[in-house]
Every structure is written in structure tokens, then in C-alpha cells.
Amino acid sequence: DLPTPNADFLGQFGSLTPEQRDVAAQVRGFMQREVAPIMNDHWSRDTFPQELIPRLRELNLLRRIWNEDGTRKPDATLMEGLITFEACKVDVSTAVFFGVHAGLATASIALGGSAEQKAEWLPRLLDMTAIGAFGLTEPEGGSQVSQGMRTTCKRDGDHWVLRGQKKWIGNSTFSDMTVIWARDVDDQEVRGFIVRAGTPGYAVEKIEGKISLRMVENGLITLSDCRVPDRDRLQNTGGWRTTADVLRLTRAGVAWQGVGCAAGAYELALAYAQQRKQFGKAIGEFQMVQRDLVLMLANVTGMLATCLRLSDMADAGDMRDEHAALAKVFTAARCRETVALARETFGGNGILLEYGVAKQFADAEAIYSYEGTNEINSLVVGRAITGFSAFV
């Protein structure tokens, strides 16, 4: 009768509404039923299981976050966080596939699209009959992309001509549309474009050989004189502002990825420590193993508190860039520490895919670096608290 591992030690989910609990339970069940049996196979083969998309569609999760007109539900950020948390406990790749589609791509249309663009894309994005991607980062650099964007757009009559490359773009190998951000060669403004799959001059090459998030398909996109009609330019983007608005929201989601990944690893480690025997005892009976487990739990507890508070601020309209950045810095770093301790608890088995913790360990590395690296998000917070910008 040993205690069941439970990462929510202080009962911080106690204040969730019945609907929020219901969604979390649905995602938990989905992850156990549909994802857990196939994830290691896809992770090792570096492929995304397309069959998950119709099953995810049945959960209707995007409509818990977005209204049909592109406004957000009153508890959208918390709901997105709970979905992300439950998914990441089992498999971070599934959460990232969902986050790119439901966060980055859908938010770009919701925040930057005209009424016509929203009417065309949101119903399909919300019911997942069209899958979206978001192309911002470039081969020459992600951290400096706001200032050093090399992908260009140039107006040519009622079309725009896009040139350049985008690297790391999640879901882009199979997405129906990808939002591409480019700098206007004439006025230097950053503009967003909806680029439809199959557009001439738009080519995607799958990035092979990742050691993290292997089930997510990331693409290297090449735009060679790719012509996009003006009606597919995001009509409501005011330069970099919309991009920053999208990233602020999705950064909160990535902070939740850190908690979910760590919580999953902690629960695996605790269950293992309760049953694995050495020297005639469960390893969980040893003091040093208990200290590691407590450190993992303390990390998860602090991360959870931070993300719950951040989500409340976001849903109240009070979350600023530095708030999302602080949460991301904190959870990504504590996640990395937690999964390393969890992996250690498993000894040699900790590097085997079948024990689960190795995948969490590897996936934490991507969480640490995307949506703004640890350094860049630290600089965002540093600027806010000191009043000095130290980026350049």
C-alpha cells in the first residue's frame, strides 16, 4: 500500500472548475490510450503518427481555447496549460504538435487575420481538418530574428514575392498552411503570410537526426520567389507587434511544457524507486534517493505555482512579455534539472526508451532552447527589472 505518485503534492489543481478537470481527464485518458502505446516506436523512427489527428479532433480541444471569431475563452491560457501539462506528462512531442497548431498557427490567424481570413481558416483550424505551422526562425539565427530577419517579401501587383529560408518549423512537413514572417524590402516592416501547401516556390525538407522531440516533424522551408496573393497577407499585423503578441501567449504554453515534462519524469522516478530493489531494499528507502525525489517534487511544485499564476494573469489580460519570459526561464531550467535527477534514479535503465524517463530527459533539451532560449528570455526579464537592455 505505497502512496501513488502524484506531482500535485500541494493540491494546486484543487481550484479547477469541473469543466477544466473534465478536459484534463480527457487528455490524460487520450494520452494513455492512444499515445502511450505508439510513442516510443514513432520517437525512435523520427515520425509523427498521422492517425492521432482524427482522434485528437474528436476531443474538440481547440474550442476550449478559442471562440469561432478568434477571441479567446475567459480561461483559455489555463485550459491550454492543462492540456499541455497532461500531454507532456506522457509525451512532450504530442503537446508540441498541438501547441504549434493550436497556439502559434491559430493565434497568428486569430490575432493577425482579417474577418475574411478568420472566416476562411478558423473553423478548419479549430476542428483540425486543416493543420497549421508557424515559420519565424531562420537558419542564420532565432534569437536575433526580430532584428536580423533575412526572409524578404516584395509587393508585385496583387501578389507578394517571398524569398528566404525558415528552419525548425514544426508540423510544416504536412501542414495545410504555414504562417511565414518576412521583412518587406521596401519599408522594412515585418509581415505575416498564409502560405498554402503546394504553393509553387515553397519547399519543405524534413530535419533529420534530432535527439529531442523526435516525434515532432520539423522542416527547413525554402521560399524561392514564392508568390502569395495579397489576400493571404495577414491583414491586421502591425509589424513585429503581432508576432510578439503570438509569442507571448505561446511562451506561456511552453512554460507549461516544462512543468508537464518534469511532472511526468518525477512520477516515473517515484514509481521506479518504490519497486526497484538493491541491497535487499527498494531504492526509495535510501536517503539520497529520497532527497533527489524531494528536490524533483519541490521543482514541480514551484513550477506549477508559477504557471497557474501566469495563466491567471494572461486570462485577466495582465501578462506582459517579461512575465511569460520569467515563467519560461524558470520552468525550462527546473525541468532540465528534474529530468536529469529522474533519469539518474533509473540507473542504466534511465537511458532506455522503454522506461519512459529517457524520452522526457531528451525532450527537456528542446524546451530549454525554443520559444526564446534561456539567455534571451533572461534578457527580456533583465531589461524589465533593471531598465537596461542588454541584448546587443
- Site for ligand FAD, rule CB under 6 A: 100, 134-137, 141-143, 168-170, 213, 218, 366, 369-373, 375-376, 391
Is 227 within 8 Å of 156 (Cβ atoms)?
A: yes
**Nearer residue to ligand FAD within complex by CB, 32 or 144:** 144
Q: Give the number of other CB atoms < 10 A from CB of residue 50.
A: 10
Which CB, 136 or 304, lies closer to ligand FAD?
A: 136
Q: How far is the CB of 220 from ligand FAD (least distance, A)?
A: 11
In the bound state with ligand FAD, the residue whose beta carbon lies nearer, of 74 and 141, is 141
CB of 142 to ligand FAD, least distance (A): 2
Q: CA-to-CA distance for 191 and 146, rounded, in angstroms?
A: 12
Residue 255 Cβ, how far from ligand FAD at the closest point, in Å? Answer: 14
Closest distance to ligand FAD from the beta carbon of 329 (Å): 11
Of 135 and 260, the one with the shorter C-beta distance to ligand FAD is 135
Q: Which is nearer to ligand FAD, 40 or 108 (CB)?
A: 108
At closest approach, how far in Å is the CB of 292 from ligand FAD?
27
Q: How far apart are CA 329 and CA 324, in angstroms?
A: 9
Concatenating the DSSP letter of every residue in 218-247 gives: EEEEEEEEEEEEGGGB-TT--THHHHHHHH
Beta 177-184 vs 132-135: how paired, if at all? parallel
Measured from the CB of residue 116, what is the shortest distance to ligand FAD in angstroms?
Answer: 25
Contacts of 98 (CB under 8 A, 6+ apart): 56, 61, 83, 84, 87
Task: Give the separation between CA 95 and CA 207, rounded to whole angstroms.
Answer: 19
CB closer to ligand FAD, 129 vs 144 = 144
Residue 137 backbone phi and psi in degrees, to 5: -65, 150
